[in-house]
Amino acid sequence: MNPKFQAPKGVSEYLPPRSNLFDYVSRTLTTPALAAGYELIELPIFEDTELFTRGVGESTDVVSKEMYTFEDRGGRSLTLRPEGTAGVMRAVIEHNLDRGQLPVKLFYRGPFFRAERPQAGRYRQFYQFGIEAIGVNDPYLDAEVIGIAYAGYKKLGFSNFSLHITSLGDAESRNRHREDLVKFIESLNLDDETKVRAAKNPLRLFDDKRDEVRSKMQSAPLLLDYLNQESMENFASVQAALKSINVPFEINPRMVRGLDYYTGTTFEFVHNGLGAQSGIGGGGRYDGLMETLGGQNLSGIGFGLGIDRVLLAMETEGCIPENIRYVDLFVIPLGVAAQSTAFTLVNQLRTAGFVVEQSFGDRALKGAMKAADKSGARFSIVIGDAEISSGTVELKEMSTGKASSVTLSALASELAKLS
Ligand code: HAM
């Protein structure tokens, strides 16, 4: 079949049953953030375009090539959010969240948009779970943020991934490095486009995918070697804090994040079974972002985890838990009177906390049993006229076919006993 309408190219969609896994993944990634006191922030999907050009940086692919930008009916330039941090900072500044208790600790989940070339694990609409901790510069907070991402992955049960960390140091360290890096880059024979990119942000060249640029950059000066005493001590404290909570990491001095706002600690989680799109999450500290966007000069740190890629990682590792979609009971009414009895019974059981489905329509028993099977329910009951008059049903365990008589009034307590 060739349907008249199809989803736009390169977007990720989640339909049952895989959407159950998507829901499970995003909820599970969120639990460690909730345990650490982060609170939800729900933001617009589109923002003023300038928020991203200024915040994320014009040297980045995200801003220069990948934004979905449009003019609204009032002639304003708007952009579908390509990432979450700039929007969070805008909201924090606009609503004075940074004037209270610090750090401000926020989390978000939702779709993001980048006009990238679609491939496995790279989509034009994708989903992130992210957190931001704003207003305090403390190596323990860096380690808390990284630890929250790590705990989320571990909770999901996959293991074939590594954490890469580095430090971009403070402004003084970065300036000293930049001077030498620029001199080094000037000594290379590069095409004009690359020179323009390097002029905006010379670190970008570490990220170049072309072999000839990569080999030229092999001997480039590394920022990590330029950290001053304070930055070095800060980075050492972050590492010690990570070790103290058993978060394994590798130091990767060549790592460059794809967004320009980073300073200090930066990190990426890489899954080893995903091929080219192996980044399952990343983040770091951003000292100047808030000020760049018109706020006070406060530091922040956060991450964005790619929910789509985490899902792929779990599927690659085969660590998908059974019964993500758990149904306690499937209720099959037979006849008009039973429909009404079943409807109120199902409602009572749901109120009591059970997950209950019922069959609808004038279904014959066979078809309804099939639906019960498909639902994955642990138990089923059939209610007909005889059951209504006796007040008793046969509670059938779907996996074994074993049944036991239970009175309707004792059904909830019996289910509780069995679960
Ligand atoms: P990012 O590294 O650009 O960081 O994106 C974070 C994660 O989103 C990536 O590691 C990846 O898993 C996922 N991702 C990015 N682009 C795509 C795509 N086209 N398709 C599928 N997944 C994708 C940020 O966005 C920062 N805002 C993170 C951050 C928060 N830094 C500080 N605070």
> What is the CATH superfamily name and number for domain 327-418?
Anticodon-binding domain (3.40.50.800)
Per DSSP, helices labelled H in 157-228 are 171-186, 192-200, 211-217
> What does the pLDDT look like over 318-338, one tens digit per residue?
999 987 888 999 999 999 999
pLDDT for the residue numbered 299:
96
2 pLDDT exceeds 90?
no
Q: Where in the chain is the domain with CATH 3.30.930.10?
A: 18-170+228-317
For ligand 1, the distance from its centroid to the CA atom of residue 60, given in whole angstroms, is 13
> What does the pLDDT look like over 298-316, one tens digit per residue?
999 999 999 999 999 999 9
State the burial class of residue 119 (Cβ atoms within 10 Å of its Cβ: 0-12, 13-18, 19+).
exposed
Does ligand 1 lie within 6 Å of residue 60's CB atom? no
Q: What is the mean pLDDT of residues 219-237?
A: 97
Q: Where in the chain is the domain with CATH 3.40.50.800?
A: 327-418
pLDDT for the residue numbered 200:
86
> What does the pLDDT look like over 99-156, one tens digit per residue?
999 999 999 999 999 999 999 999 999 999 999 999 999 999 999 999 999 999 999 9
Does ligand 1 lie within 6 Å of residue 22's CB atom? no
80 pLDDT exceeds 90?
yes
DSSP 5-53: --PPTTB----TTHHHHHHHHHHHHHHHHHHTT-EE----SEEEHHHHH
How far is residue 78's CA from residue 46's CA, in Å, rounded to a whole number?
Answer: 6
Pocket test for ligand 1, best of 309, 310, 311 (most atoms within 8 A of CB): 309
**For residue 62, which atom of ligand 1 is closest to its CA?**
3
> What does the pLDDT look like over 247-263, one tens digit per residue?
999 999 999 999 999 99
Sheet of strand 39-40: strand arrangement = 39-40, 104-113, 125-134, 300-306, 279-285, 263-271, 161-167, 250-251
> What does the pLDDT look like over 344-397, one tens digit per residue?
999 999 999 999 999 998 778 899 999 999 999 999 999 999 999 999 999 999
Does ligand 1 lie within 6 Å of residue 123's CB atom? yes
pLDDT for the residue numbered 364:
86
Nearest residue (CA) to ligand 1, atom 16:
122
| CATH code for residues 18-170+228-317 | 3.30.930.10
Average pLDDT, the chain: 95
Does ligand 1 lie within 6 Å of residue 264's CB atom? no
pLDDT for the residue numbered 392:
97
Does ligand 1 lie within 6 Å of residue 87's CB atom? no
For ligand 1, the distance from its centroid to the CA atom of residue 346, given in whole angstroms, is 42
For ligand 1, the distance from its centroid to the CA atom of residue 268, given in whole angstroms, is 10
1 pLDDT exceeds 80?
no
> What does the pLDDT look like over 128-144, one tens digit per residue?
999 999 999 999 999 99
Peptide bond connecting 103 to the previous residue in cis, omega within 30 degrees of 0: yes
Q: What is the pTM of this model?
A: 0.94
> Which residues does residue 119 pair with via DSSP β-bridges, in sequence order?
122
pLDDT for the residue numbered 159:
94
For ligand 1, the distance from its centroid to the CA atom of residue 100, given in whole angstroms, is 29
